[in-house]
Amino acid sequence: MADSENQKFCLQEVLESFKSCLSPEKEIYIEHYVSGWRGLVKLLNSLGSLFGFISKDAVSKTQILMNFLKSENGPHYATVQSMVKFELDNELVDVDKKGIYPESGCRTLLRLHRALRWLQLFLERLRTSKEDDKTSVMCRDAYNESLAQHHPWLIRKSAGVAFYSLPVRLAFFEVMNVGTPEQVVDVLGKAVPLLCEVYQITEELYQKHNLHDLP
Ligand SMILES: CCCCCCCC/C=C\CCCCCCCC(=O)N[C@@H](COP(=O)(O)O)[C@H](O)/C=C/CCCCCCCCCCCCC
């Protein structure tokens, strides 16, 4: 595991990364998008070994994107928009079934994009939750409404087991390193619309190019 993923989680930092990933023309910078996810993985890593398989998958997907960014084609991977154009123009995407490019940038980002929807739903539930509400239930409901439809039975079951071990709401708020519960709610109020905007831009781009079912 990279050192950066062992460091203490800070919600504000994650928020900054997702903020920086939007250009004035509403393009999404992959470097900052990945950095936002890597920040979230720090929190995941502090939740215990039951979340290890999720963390591993998230790290592997962010690494695939970073490798593209560092490759000789790096400039084409600066933004999600330029990546989609480059991979489609050069037929670097397996459109119907896994084949020559099982780890294209487009299909890798699609997995994180679906997870971003889960995150958005989960954080909105957290933001509007009451003192006694259960994080495990919020997390499960957000998952069932989003990512679960893309996962096989075994992953759904394993995720369900991990959710049960989530800390209670107040302890979870503390892990975020923001301050009082009121301050957490305040930061979440800024985070959710931002994630929503990043999600929506990607969603429309993937719709336009018919990329929602990449295997
Ligand atoms: C303010 C912060 C509070 C929230 C903190 C959340 C921290 C979450 C950090 C990372 C989230 C994990 C993102 C997981 C990406 C999953 C992508 C995916 O769907 N991968 C599957 C498909 O990939 P391919 O096989 O097609 O390559 C893969 O099969 C999945 C493997 C792992 C299981 C993913 C379960 C995801 C559950 C949602 C995350 C729950 C984390 C709860 C922490 C509060």
CATH number of domain containing 41: 1.10.3520.10
Residue 196 in domain: yes
Provide the mean pLDDT of the chain. 94
Distance, CA of 97 to CA of 158 (rounded, Å): 26
ipTM score: 0.97
**Separate counts of helices (H) and strands (E) for the chain:** 9, 0
Residue 215 in domain: no
Residue 3 in domain: no
**pLDDT recorded at residue 9:** 83
Q: What token pair was written down for 18?
A: 């997702």
Of ligand 1's atoms, which has the minimum distance to the CA of residue 56? 32
Q: What is the pLDDT of residues 37-90, one digit of tens each?
A: 999 999 999 999 999 999 999 999 999 999 999 999 999 999 999 999 999 999
Q: Are 37 and 52 contacting, i.e. CB atoms less than 8 angstroms apart?
A: no
User: Residue 33's domain spans which residues?
Assistant: 10-208
Q: Are 80 and 109 contacting, i.e. CB atoms less than 8 angstroms apart?
A: yes
Residue 89 in domain: yes
Q: What token pair was written down for 203?
A: 């969603």
Number of domains in the chain: 1
pTM of the entire predicted model: 0.95
Residue 1 in domain: no
User: Which residue minimizes the CA distance to atom 38 of ligand 1?
Assistant: 143
Distance, CA of 188 to CA of 103 (rounded, Å): 32
Please list, in sequence order, all residues whose beta carbon lies within 8 angstroms of the beta carbon of residue 90, skipping any fewer than 6 positions away: none
Q: How confident is the model at residue 7 (pLDDT cuts 50, 70, 90)?
A: low
User: Which residue minimizes the CA distance to atom 37 of ligand 1?
Assistant: 159
Residue 198 in domain: yes
Residue 18 in domain: yes
Of ligand 1's atoms, which has the minimum distance to the CA of residue 135? 44
SS (H, E, C) 51-76: HHHHHHHHHHHHHHHHHHHHCCCHHH
User: Which residue minimizes the CA distance to atom 19 of ligand 1?
Assistant: 111
Q: Are 31 and 67 contacting, i.e. CB atoms less than 8 angstroms apart?
A: no
Question: Ligand 1: residues whose CB is within 6 Å?
Answer: 11, 40-41, 43-44, 53-54, 57-58, 111, 114-115, 118, 123, 139, 143, 147, 150, 155, 159, 166, 176
Residue 214 in domain: no
* Sign of the alpha-carbon dihedral angle for 178, 181, 182, 185: positive
